[in-house]
Structure 1
Amino acid sequence: MKKKVLAAGLLTTAILLTSAFTPVSTNAGQETIVKLEGQPITFASQPRMIDGVLMASVSDLANALEMEVTWNDAERVAVVTRNGYELKLPVHTDHAYVNGQATTMKGTTQIVDDSLYVPLRFFMESADQIVRWDSATSSVSITKPADSLPVVGTYDHLVTLLTQNESKGIVVNSLMGTSAIAKSSTTSSAPAVAGSAGVAVQDSARSVAPEYSGTNVQVQGVDESDVVKSDGTYIYTVNKQRIVVTQAYPADQMKVLSILDFPKTQNTQFQPSEIYVDDKHLIVLGQSYQNFKPVPYNEAASSSTSVGITGKRMISPIRSQATTKVMVYDLTDRSNLKLVKDAELEGNYISSRKIGSSLYFIANKYVNYYQYRELTDMEGMKKELAPSYRDSSAGDSFTSVPLDRIYYLPKALEPNYVLIGGMNLDHLSETMNVTSYLGSGQNVYASEENLYVAATKYEEQQQETILYQFGLNNGKAVYQHTGKVPGHLLNQFAMDEHNGYLRLATTTGEIWRTDEGTSKNHVYILDKSLKEVGSILNIAPGERIYSTRFMGDRAYMVTFKNTDPLFVLDLKQPAQPKLLGALKIPGYSNYLHPYDENHIIGFGKDTIEVENKSVAGSQSIAYYQGMKVALFDVSDVNNPKEKFTEIIGDRGTDSELLYNHRALLFSKERNLLSFPVTVMKIDPNLATSNPKNVASAYGSFAFQGAYVYNLDLEKGFQLRGGISHLSKEELQKAGQHFYAGDKQVERVLYIGDTLYTISNGFIKANDLTTLEEKNTVAIP
């Protein structure tokens, strides 16, 4: 029996008469101001804090959103509805049902002063409202998404969306390409440190842990996953499809504590790729594969564009489902790690970020509509075309995302689903939030408040980057705005959010063209609604961006063709950005890292420019040489200078740092700079006997390991030495292209006065001052 309830009193009277629950006694405390679209909500029953959660009357919240509330006597639940939306709220539970889907709330429905109370944030966010808390004024601001994305809605509409781009000939880069997430840049001069001394810990070894280095992230405050993490006492590594936990501090007691294996079965396997560590948990992210039994398909349909044609049935081969999997382990006993939660998103792992206790991870699922349309089971086909997810908090089975809860990105439409999962690591019993979008993107960027999906679209030989903005709130991403800029982005460092503005660096055109279609580089500044407010256009025609770094009110850009121009840009006035100065030097920088507000470090390659006689007009060509590290002085923004340089090896020398910033260890306070490098050197006799070929000649293997430098503004780069996991005999026997294998150093970090280098085969501890070896542990 259902009765429509028009007032809070009627609803609560029905509940009290049909349940054995008693009202909860609470203190009203300070009155909280709640505003909807800037206007205060009038409450018949005032919101109040219950067990640390802001709760409000169901009837008051429903009235504010012009929803209807009914009471279901049989199920003892309040039902909130509007335009096809339905929220079921059972009494005295932390579970609710949004459009039939079970969801965990932070908080429990309560009966307070004759009214049914529900967590305010959950109620509003389940209705797609954006909720923000202002601790300074003890107020809540609720707003509708500034814009809205269209909904897939039905199977027929999905089929239309999946096939329409083929006829238009539009190509959009997939999330399977480069992608990253990063927090906005600030003027911070040092990389973020994931941990430090003085943190409350559970074991005595960690209680005395000294200062230690963390992962080098784009900006302090947002952690990035990596293959190596440390908490100041232990080192955690992704090691040949395993997770190895090593007690690293103190160095003389270093030992492997435990190894976490992921056994393969006939039908499933898990491949870890990156990890996070905090005081309580080890979080492992990676790719999971599960094989399915053969499924029938329609042979006749394979030659027809229609769906549902009956005919001879065949059996398709065994297929595999790829999922992005997150596994959370309790760190109470590091010698015996306990799995406390795991969750999966269907699709390939793209990237992730950890902001406080909120973990965000992103997957991309390719939709092969032409394969699925051969299925004779229409209901099965609909299920196959919808993305799915699983959370151990809700059980072992996968849940399909309903088509009426899937949005699509109309300007970046492609047969892919972008799935964003979020979980609160402080409340692992809650099910993760999942949002799904039909479309694609090339780069993903996140600040503390917003996430941006950027898709570069190529149409009629023109490049355009479409931007989709999502608000982040406790593990949930809610769509807000769409914007666009000409050109394509290089990587995560080409985007930055600062003081409410999004800044981007793009390249248009092609570097090989000499007409009006030649490459040009630009910087755009967008407001909160992703509308353009300022720009600097046509920087370095004929070249392309190799690296960008936004630092507060400035930006630094490196372009390259034959020489390396470093541009300094003033972005203090978003509507009137200015190009201040440029420095042209040989070589280029792949990665720029702040030293302080007036100095920046560039990591890249040196080059030699030679005449190209085979091309009419005697154009020159630049051959890259050894690795180049430069310290730029931008004190005079109109005249930047290359203050110090360091050239490492010859042509063929390489470092992971050139394409992965997380490989860098830098501490300005300790004058410390270190990174893994493979050094190649040319035989000195070659330079003497055949100097014309030196520019294009590759060197032979000379070293693999970590180079360690002192760096200051007086003496520049001072090489203190190299730490290798290869023996002297192995180095002596190395040929021209030696492969270090499990002894290849991948990361460098410090704990106290000890420098640690990590490879798949060893962890080596060296004195940070003298570089003398303290201890080495072999990883079995």
Structure 2
Amino acid sequence: MKTRLLIALAAALGAGACTAPSGEFVPDVAQPPWVPVSAQLAAFDSCEDALEGIQDAAIAALGDWEPGGETRGGIEFAEEEAGAVADAEAPTAAGDQTSHSETNNAVAGVDEPDIVKTDGTYVYSVVNQVLRVVDTRSTEVVAERALDTYSWDHRLFLGDGELLLMYTQDVETDETYYSQFRIERLDPATLDVLDRFAMEGSMVDARLVGGEVRLAVSSQPQLEPVWNLMWDGHSDADDVAEALRDTEIEDWLPEFEVNGEAGDIDCADVAHPERFSGNSLSVLALPADGGWEGAEPHTVMADGETVHGTTESLYIAHYDYAWDETEPEAETELYRFAFEDGQPRLAGEAAVPGTLLNQYSLSEYDGHLRVATTENDTAWWGGCGPMTDCAWEIAPQDQEPSKSTVTVFAVGEDSLEQTGSVTDLGVDEQIYAVRFIGDTGYVVTFRQTDPLYTVDLTDPANPVVTGELKITGYSGYLHPVGDDRLLGVGQEATEDGMTTGLQVSLFDTGADEATVLDQYFMPNADSAVQWDPHAFLYWADTAIAVMPTTSWGENGYDYQSGALVLDVGDDTLTEAAWIEHDGGTDEESGYYQEVLRAIVIGDELWTLSTSGLQANGLGGDYIEAGSVAW
């Protein structure tokens, strides 16, 4: 097993667009210059060609590296402790299929991984390093499994008769330590492991479509000799370059295994942009019901930060950036993978100037991909934001003001071709929320006030801004709640842009420009929905919106964590309930219990917190109907 790449090397390789100061190391290969809109991929002809190309990219990136540093201390990583426990009332392969809500997904029919799933009878959750199964009929934990302390980013999929657990495990052997992504197919009745796929790296994201799990895994190369040289305090860049020339292709491509059997990545399945750092992104598909021995990851020598999935495609966005003495430059490279017969295929690439907010900045509709980005946004690199100074205090005074753009691409069999764009949205602001609904886009930008832009995308060659609604505060998440109705969850703010508390807005989107119908405000409060849409629940049957909310009260000192339930009328927002869990605080650690998710099962609203699960009657007074603590 190879060792994990030191973070410092990744930083040096990632700085490949920078120019080496005069008199310092000049690599024997030239780093391609940073040119905006440069996402063009090429495949390597052979493993020898791949190795040489990767080494050249790594050596070119050394131009900005300075010798020296401290070695990282050893950390003991324990292997995962197996041992699920289950009692006599463990769940069967499928529950009674009571009417229930699902994860708040961006695209219908494309499930996203989350910390809680339900089949209408059992609730499967992973909280505080423990995977649990709760029978909602008896409100009892019927199976549970403690997860290793050094595992993280636990998420779940629920298929037809199988539970899928995904996480990253930090592993240490006598010779090395590294991070390993794992996905396990579990028996939902016992939590026994039926299949396991493992790959060096960590999961970027995943989607479950039609019984197929589509995965994107990010990996760093494993270079023990290079690591040692960079941190021994005596070697220079020439020594490191020589060590890079001694690497083998296996050092750069991630290892993977299925049920303990090692697999190989075909060099013919490795693609690369003109400029890359040495990190890799692997895309693969696994059938949810097993049979993983045929897994064939396809790898791009690039990072990946944002994933957007459709029934046919997986879009992966990679941020590429450079900066000179005056200002940063950034673009977002887009890679589209299509899936055929259980195998991914690279089916197009493109680039847009600026950066994405999240996956809601991407949308595929009627054969076109729409992308919303912010250009010249210093927030991503200088710690700047509304009412916040730049952390590095290096924001250039003469930099062009930020602006946002919506770009449209035609999606071909193997291509993404730009058809049109509209720009200059939110000049001197940045995007805080995006939602594409049919042939209309809604974009929220913010600095002091919140313009909600309406963008008509009917003509892909000529997107047009038809409305610009300005209100104080901003929406961090947008959700459709019926015909011509849009709900925004975010923050109220003063005229100067100082946030003051949770604000939920109901918009009428029936005209060219949206209008505000009603707003709900809770001072000194916020909701995880603003940055994690999976925390949001809209149940159309009773027209309620539920969101985990943390409040510090009007005086700023009265902490509360609960689930806020709002009745969503045709033109009104009304607080229907505030649901809290018992447990309050852990006196020893001072850790506050926190409501994390809400789901509907039958005629009950179930809320998940760090301290347990609780059921309340749906509607009326929302009377507590049962709970289970842990």
Shorter-chain TM-score: what band? 0.7 to 0.9
**Aligned twin of 2:520:** 646
Cα pair 2:265 2:296 within 8 Å, conserved: no
**Aligned twin of 2:508:** 633
**Residue pairs, 1:98-497, within 5 angstroms:** 149-151=43-45, 153-154=47-48, 155-167=51-63, 203=92, 206-207=95-96, 209-248=97-136, 250=137, 253-262=138-147, 270-271=151-152, 273-294=154-175, 319-331=176-188, 334=189, 336-367=190-221, 369=223, 371-372=225-226, 381-392=248-259, 396-411=260-275, 413-428=276-291, 430-460=293-323, 461-497=328-364
Cα pair 1:372 1:381 within 8 Å, conserved: no
1:700 pairs, out of 539, 546, 557, with: 557
> 1:293 & 1:623 partners in 2: Cα distance?
52
> 1:219 & 1:517 partners in 2: Cα distance?
35
1:725 pairs, out of 581, 594, 611, with: 581
Letter in 2 for 1:765: A
1:750, distance to aligned residue in structure 2 (A): 1.2
Q: TM-score, normalised by structure 1?
A: 0.64
1:775 pairs, out of 615, 626, 629, with: 626
Letter in 1 for 2:47: G
**Residue pairs, 1:528-547, within 5 angstroms:** 528=411, 529-547=415-433
**Aligned twin of 1:664:** 536
**Aligned twin of 2:568:** 711
Can you give the 5+ residue segments of structure 2 that lack an aligned partner in the other structure?
Answer: 1-39, 66-90, 230-242, 379-394
1:75-95 CA-to-partner distances (Å, cap 9, x unmatched) read: xxxxxxxxxxxxxxxxxxxxx
Greater relative contact order (Cα < 8 A, sep 6+):
2
Say if 2:406 is the partner of 1:523: yes
Cα pair 2:107 2:309 within 8 Å, conserved: no
> 1:595 & 1:643 partners in 2: Cα distance?
13
**Aligned twin of 2:88:** none
> 1:594 & 1:156 partners in 2: Cα distance?
50
Q: Describe the shift of the 1:373–1:262 C-alpha distance in structure 2 as closer, same or farther (beyond 3 A).
A: closer
Q: Describe the shift of the 1:713–1:509 C-alpha distance in structure 2 as closer, same or farther (beyond 3 A).
A: same
> 2:407 & 2:45 partners in 1: Cα distance?
30
Output the aligned Cα RMSD.
Answer: 2.8
How many correspondences in the alignment? 526
Q: Describe the shift of the 1:624–1:429 C-alpha distance in structure 2 as closer, same or farther (beyond 3 A).
A: closer
Q: Describe the shift of the 1:751–1:159 C-alpha distance in structure 2 as closer, same or farther (beyond 3 A).
A: same
Letter in 2 for 1:625: T
Cα pair 2:47 2:249 within 8 Å, conserved: no
Cα pair 1:590 1:659 within 8 Å, conserved: yes
Q: Describe the shift of the 1:533–1:424 C-alpha distance in structure 2 as closer, same or farther (beyond 3 A).
A: same
1:263, distance to aligned residue in structure 2 (A): 5.3
**Aligned twin of 2:85:** none
> 2:249 & 2:464 partners in 1: Cα distance?
53
**Residue pairs, 1:586-601, within 5 angstroms:** 586-601=472-487
Cα pair 1:581 1:640 within 8 Å, conserved: yes
> 1:161 & 1:378 partners in 2: Cα distance?
11
**Aligned twin of 1:37:** none
Cα pair 2:162 2:289 within 8 Å, conserved: no
Cα pair 2:286 2:292 within 8 Å, conserved: no
The DSSP-based 3-state class of the residue aligned with 2:289 is: coil
> 2:516 & 2:153 partners in 1: Cα distance?
41
Deviates more, 1:517-526 or 1:378-387: 378-387
Q: Describe the shift of the 1:404–1:150 C-alpha distance in structure 2 as closer, same or farther (beyond 3 A).
A: closer
The DSSP-based 3-state class of the residue aligned with 2:52 is: helix
1:740, distance to aligned residue in structure 2 (A): 5.2
1:424, distance to aligned residue in structure 2 (A): 1.1
The DSSP-based 3-state class of the residue aligned with 1:559 is: strand
1:163, distance to aligned residue in structure 2 (A): 2.2
1:437, distance to aligned residue in structure 2 (A): 1.8
The DSSP-based 3-state class of the residue aligned with 2:251 is: helix
1:704, distance to aligned residue in structure 2 (A): 0.9
Q: Percent identity?
A: 25
Cα pair 1:510 1:517 within 8 Å, conserved: no
Cα pair 1:226 1:274 within 8 Å, conserved: yes
Q: Describe the shift of the 1:580–1:773 C-alpha distance in structure 2 as closer, same or farther (beyond 3 A).
A: same
Q: TM-score, normalised by structure 2?
A: 0.78
Cα pair 1:151 1:407 within 8 Å, conserved: no
1:442, distance to aligned residue in structure 2 (A): 2.9
Cα pair 1:632 1:641 within 8 Å, conserved: yes
Q: Describe the shift of the 1:517–1:272 C-alpha distance in structure 2 as closer, same or farther (beyond 3 A).
A: closer
**Aligned twin of 1:623:** 498
1:256, distance to aligned residue in structure 2 (A): 0.7
> 1:158 & 1:244 partners in 2: Cα distance?
44
Letter in 2 for 1:506: T
Cα pair 2:505 2:516 within 8 Å, conserved: yes
The DSSP-based 3-state class of the residue aligned with 1:531 is: strand
Deviates more, 1:223-232 or 1:398-407: 398-407
The DSSP-based 3-state class of the residue aligned with 1:635 is: coil
Cα pair 2:94 2:160 within 8 Å, conserved: no
Cα pair 2:93 2:187 within 8 Å, conserved: no
> 2:409 & 2:216 partners in 1: Cα distance?
25
1:172-191 CA-to-partner distances (Å, cap 9, x unmatched) read: xxxxxxxxxxxxxxxxxxxx
Letter in 1 for 2:155: E
> 2:442 & 2:298 partners in 1: Cα distance?
35
1:524, distance to aligned residue in structure 2 (A): 0.6
Letter in 1 for 2:59: T
Q: Describe the shift of the 1:777–1:370 C-alpha distance in structure 2 as closer, same or farther (beyond 3 A).
A: closer
Cα pair 1:372 1:385 within 8 Å, conserved: no
Letter in 2 for 1:220: A
The DSSP-based 3-state class of the residue aligned with 2:422 is: strand
Q: Describe the shift of the 1:399–1:721 C-alpha distance in structure 2 as closer, same or farther (beyond 3 A).
A: same
Cα pair 1:513 1:542 within 8 Å, conserved: no
> 2:377 & 2:594 partners in 1: Cα distance?
37
1:427, distance to aligned residue in structure 2 (A): 4.4
> 1:402 & 1:371 partners in 2: Cα distance?
25
**Aligned twin of 1:106:** none
The DSSP-based 3-state class of the residue aligned with 1:654 is: strand
Q: Describe the shift of the 1:337–1:516 C-alpha distance in structure 2 as closer, same or farther (beyond 3 A).
A: closer
Cα pair 1:666 1:673 within 8 Å, conserved: yes
1:445, distance to aligned residue in structure 2 (A): 1.9
